[in-house]
Amino acid sequence: MNRIKVLFFATLRDRAGTKMAEIEVPLGTTVAALKARVVQDYPNLAAAIDTAVVALNREYAPEDAVLPDRAEIAFFPPVSGG
């Protein structure tokens, strides 16, 4: 198993009810699979998780990125502006 640290920011933190969680996932888990797991653990995030921006060890990560052991994942709500 792979233990990762998950950080929630802004409105995602409000919906999750916490700013940080530690989650165990199988080795080889992708960002997309982690999103599904996070929704299981924090159902209030279901409507927002698909549009969340994800950082893996402080770098933006695509959905197919594989989580390394002891990774730090941060979820940010999308930002718009002009």
CB atoms within 10 A of CB 6: 22
Residue 66 binned pLDDT confidence (cut-offs 50, 70, 90) = very high
Indicate yes or no: pTM above 0.95: no
Percentage of the chain modeled with pLDDT above 90 = 93
> What are the residues whose beta carbons fall under 8 Å from the beta carbon of 78, sequence distance 6 or more?
51, 52, 53
Residue 10 near residue 53, CB atoms below 8 Å: no
The full set of domains in the chain, from first to last, is: 2-76 (3.10.20.30)
**Which residue matches tokens 């941060």?**
74
Does position 82 have pLDDT exceeding 60, yes or no? Answer: no
Please tell me the predicted confidence (pLDDT) of residue 78: 85
Mean pLDDT of the chain: 95
DSSP state of 30: B
